[in-house]
Amino acid sequence: MTRELTPKGSATRQRIIEGAAAEIREHGVAATTLDDVRTRTGTSKSQLFHYFPGGREELLLAVARYEAGRVLSDQQPQLSRLTSWRAWEEWRDVLIQRYRRQAWDCPLDAVVSQLGRSTPGAQAVLTELLNRWQGEIAAGVRAMQEQGEIDPGLDAGQAAAALLAGIQGGVVIMLSTGRLTHLEAALDVAIQHLRESRDRHPADH
Contacts with its own copies by CB under 8 A lie at 28-30, 112-113, 116-117, 123, 126-127, 130, 158-159, 161-162, 164-173, 175-177, 181-183, 185-186, 188-190, 193, 196, 199-200
CB under 8 A, 24+ apart: contacts of 20-23: 20/59, 20/60, 20/63, 21/63, 21/66, 21/67, 21/107, 21/110
Q: Does 176 bind DNA (CB under 7 A)?
A: no
HSE at residue 180, side-chain half, CA atoms within 13 A, is 15
Integer Cα distance of 189 and 147 in angstroms: 21
Q: Does 44 bind DNA (CB under 7 A)?
A: yes
Q: Which residues contact 105 (CB under 8 A, 6 or more apart)?
A: 25, 26
CA 127 to chain centre: 11
The single residue among 14, 22, 34, 172 that binds DNA, judged by CB under 7 A, is: 34
Shortest CB 37 distance to DNA, Å: 8
**Cβ proximity to its own copies, 51 vs 136, nearer residue:** 136
H or E, element range at 102: none
CA 63 to chain centre: 13
Q: Which of 147, 143, 171 is nearest to 159 (CA)?
A: 143
Decide which of its own copies, DNA, none touches 43; Cβ closer than 5 to 8 Å per partner kind. Answer: DNA
Decide which of its own copies, DNA, none touches 161; Cβ closer than 5 to 8 Å per partner kind. Answer: its own copies
Shortest CB 29 distance to DNA, Å: 9
Residues in the interface with DNA (CB under 7 A) total 24
CB 60 within 8 A of CB 29: yes
Decide which of DNA, its own copies, none touches 55; Cβ closer than 5 to 8 Å per partner kind. Answer: DNA
Residues between 4 and 33 with contacts to DNA, criterion CB under 7 A: 4-10, 12, 32-33
Decide which of DNA, its own copies, none touches 162; Cβ closer than 5 to 8 Å per partner kind. Answer: its own copies
**Cβ proximity to its own copies, 51 vs 133, nearer residue:** 133
Decide which of its own copies, DNA, none touches 175; Cβ closer than 5 to 8 Å per partner kind. Answer: its own copies
